[in-house]
Amino acid sequence: MASIFSPTTARGSFAPVMATLAGLGLLIAALPVILIVLMSFSGDASLSFPPRSLSLQWYGSAVSVLWGDRSEGTMSAMNGLLTSLGVGLVTMCASVLVCVPLAYALVRSGGRAQRWIELLFTMPLVFPLVVLGVSYLLIAESLASSTGIELGYLRLIIPHITLALPLVLRNCVSAMGGIHPELEEAAKSLGASPLRAAWNVVVPLMKPGILAGFIFAFIISFNEFTVSFFMYTVDIRSLPIWMYSRTVSSLDPTTLAISTMIIALDVALIAWVDKIVGGKSSLF
C-alpha cells in the first residue's frame, strides 16, 4: 500500500496540489512588492489601482527629491540616504569584525558553549522589534540625562549592529565549520604562528561567509525601520524614516518609486550573495 506521505497515491498525484500551494504562497509573499512596483509606474495624477496609464514621472520626481532641492534641511531625502549608507557601512564592518573571531572561537571550542552563545546572539531575532526599540531608547535617554553624553549616530549604529549580528554570525559559523583544523596544523608545522595561520589559512577559506555577512548586514541596516523609528532625532534620520514622514499624512507616489529602487538594490545584492556563496563571484 502506498504511503499517505508519498507524492503519489491510488487517488492520483499530490504534485498539482503542492504546486498550487507553493504558487499561492509565493503570490502572497510577492504581492506587496508587485503592487508597489506596478504603482510606481502609474501615470495618473493620483494613485488608483489598477493604474490607467504608465509613466516614469514618479521616478523623475524621486531623482529630483534625492538630488534636487535641499530646502528641507535635515529632513531631506539625500540626508536620509547618506545617513542610511553611512550607518549601513559601519554596521556591516563592525558586525563582521565581531563575528569572524567569534565564529572561529565557537567552532574550534565546540561543545555546549557554542550552542548557547549562538542562541544568545539569535535573541534579537526573537524579541519584538518594538521591544528592542523601546529598550535602546531608554538606554540612550538615561545615558544622556545622567551623564550628558549624546550618542549621535551611535543611536542608530548600535541597534543596527545588534540586528545584523545573528545573520552575520550564522554565515561565518557555517563557513568556519567547513574548514578542517588540520589545515591550520599544517601551516603551524611549517613555522607559522597561530595568528598567522588563522589569518593566512582560515580567513581566506571563510571568504564566502564573510562577504555574504558583509552584504546581509548592509541590507538589514539599510532597510531597518522599526527600531530606527524609536532612535531617530531631528538631525539623524535614515531614509526609511524620511519615507515614513513623507507618507504619514498622505501617500506620496514618489516614495513608491524610491521603494522600487530599494527593492531593485536588495534583489541585486541578494543575487550577488548567491553568486559569492556559490564561488562564482567575489566582493571586489
Q: Where are the domains of the chain?
A: 73-277
**Which has the closest alpha carbon to 256: 30, 31, 37?**
37
Distances (CA, A) of 255 to 66, 189, 238, 239: 11, 59, 14, 10
Average pLDDT of span 22-49: 80
For residue 46, the SS3 value is coil
Q: What is the pLDDT of residue 95?
A: 92
Model confidence pTM above 0.85: no
Indicate the pLDDT class of residue 218, thresholds 50, 70 and 90.
very high
- Cα separation, 129 vs 215, in Å, equals 21
- Cα separation, 53 vs 43, in Å, equals 5
H or E segment to which residue 204 belongs: helix 203-205
Residue 122 reports pLDDT greater than 90: no
Return the percentage of the chain with pLDDT > 70, whole number.
Answer: 87
Indicate the pLDDT class of residue 160, thresholds 50, 70 and 90.
very high
Residue with cell 608545522: 189
Average pLDDT of span 103-113: 79
Q: What is the pLDDT of residue 284?
A: 46
Class of domain 73-277: mainly alpha
Q: DSSP assignment, residue 198?
A: I
Take residue 220 and report the three cell numbers written for it: 538589514
Q: What is the pLDDT of residue 7?
A: 52
- Cα separation, 278 vs 264, in Å, equals 21
* R_g (Cα) of the chain, nearest Å: 24
Residue 29 reports pLDDT greater than 70: yes
Q: What is the pLDDT of residue 235?
A: 83
Indicate the pLDDT class of residue 94, thresholds 50, 70 and 90.
very high
Q: pLDDT tens digits, residue range 236-265?
A: 889 999 888 888 766 778 888 888 899 889
Sequence-separated (6 or more) residues with CB below 8 Å from residue 7: 13, 14, 15, 18
In the chain, the amino acid numbered 102 is L
Average pLDDT of the chain is: 81
Residue 69 reports pLDDT greater than 70: no
Residue 3 reports pLDDT greater than 70: no
